Every structure is written in C-alpha cells, then in structure tokens.
A = this chain, B = another copy of it.
C-alpha cells in the first residue's frame, strides 16, 4: 500500500443508484481551496498506485465510500485529452490533494451500480458524498460531466441486453418498481400488461410469498431475481442477431 503513486493515471467511477423515482449519481464534495469559491463536486476516484491493478483501485475506492464489497463494476471508457485538466483550480486541487504537479492525467472511468438503502446512505453521507439527480448536474469539476453522460449511455444499453436493473433495485421488488426503473432510465412509457407478460415468462424471476403492507390499494407481490437460474438459461439460448 506504500507503493508510489503513478502521476499519469487516475480512476474515476460513475456510481448510479435509483431512489424509486429518479436516477442518481454519486458525487464527492471537492474541498475548496479558498473560502469564497463555490462548492464543486467530482466523481469518486483517485490516482493509482504503481503496484495496483485499475480494477482493484476502483474496488477499493468504492469500498471506502460505500462500505460494500460486492458491487457491480465494469470498465467504462478512457478519457485522455491532454487538456482535460485545464483550469487553474483543477491543477491546484490536484497538487494540493496528491502532492503532484502534472498537467496531464489520463483517467480510466468505471461504471458501477448500487442499491440505495439506509446502510449505504449513512456511509456515503459520512464520506462527503451525495446522490445527485442525473438530470440536474451542476458544479461538476474536470470533464466529469462528460464521463457521467458516457456512463448513462452504457447504462441504457446494458439494461436492454443484461439484467443489470436488479443491481439498482432492492432484493425484493415489485414488477411495477422494475417497470418504473426502465421507464425512468430509458425515458419511455411501457405498456404495463405487455411488460408483465414479458418479464414473468422468465424462469429466473421468482415470486415470493410477500406483499406490500399498509398501502391503501391492492398490495403488490414481491419478486426476487435468481442469478443462477439466469446464467443457466443463458447457456442454452444464443440466437443469432444481424444488426
């Protein structure tokens, strides 16, 4: 852990969460360098150590921030514009934080999905982090807004081809919650009957013996996602698509 820092490479993570209605991204409050500056926010991340794999660096950052170990994480994209760190504030903040004066950092961004629950809320608030509505990004430093938009694209595409939606929902969820998630992120309306038909066909969605409580309408049934059943299913079906 005491290996020197590599002054050229950083890791930044786009962590998405869903509060039931809106898509959120986790931002860190960037320490002000002087009192009168407005508060700026950045993605969680850090420079990497010379002995460290990038995936490991991303995992560690996430674990420190959320207290969680097994979080969905994948490489997103490399941002390498030689001028991506251009403002004086940015340079000063880097020098102040890492003790290096460089004007060229290549960042490898990661894409992560977590369930927003009480436990994670407690930990993230302690870490000067906050869940920002993806539609209302402002005061985001560096090129981190661009990175978040890249992450959003990835999320939209992944949601349609793999079951990552369940990373954003509680373990037990209703079909309506799942539909709301798809509608919110993809920005579309989905017919409820057709959605249920499609979803409930899948053998890896398990109906539980539990319902919503204390709601003043017909209580919804909870379901659970069975990843093993999903993987087994995948091994069989591989149908050809030609764009």
* Residue positions of A touching B, CB distance < 8 A: 6, 8-9, 48, 50-55, 75, 77-78, 80-82, 104, 106, 108, 159-163, 182, 186, 188, 190, 195, 198-199, 240-243
Q: Which residue of the partner chain, among B82, B108, B186, contacts A52 with CB atoms under 8 Å?
A: B82
CB distance from A192 to the nearest CB of B (A): 13
Closest 8 CB pairs of A and B: A54-B80, A160-B241, A8-B8, A78-B108, A163-B243, A51-B82, A162-B243, A53-B80
In the bound complex, how far is the Cα of B174 from the Cα of A226, in angstroms?
45
Residue of B nearest to A57 (CB): B80
Known contacts A182-B242, A198-B242, A240-B188: does B53 contact A6 (CB below 8 Å)?
A: no
29 A-B pairs within 8 Å (CB atoms) are namely A6-B8, A6-B104, A8-B8, A9-B9, A9-B106, A51-B82, A52-B82, A53-B80, A53-B81, A53-B82, A54-B80, A54-B106, A75-B77, A75-B78, A78-B78, A78-B108, A80-B108, A159-B243, A160-B240, A160-B241, A160-B243, A162-B243, A182-B242, A186-B240, A188-B240, A190-B240, A195-B242, A198-B242, A199-B242
Residue of B nearest to A104 (CB): B50
Please give, as numbers and ranges, the residues of chain B lying within 8 Å of A106 by CB-CB distance: 9, 54, 108
Known contacts A240-B186, A241-B161, A243-B161: does B54 contact A78 (CB below 8 Å)?
A: yes
In the complex, the count of this chain's copies comes to 2
Residue of B nearest to A238 (CB): B188
Please give, as numbers and ranges, the residues of chain B lying within 8 Å of A159 by CB-CB distance: 242-243
In the bound complex, how far is the Cα of B219 from the Cα of A46, in angstroms?
61
CB distance from A84 to the nearest CB of B (A): 9
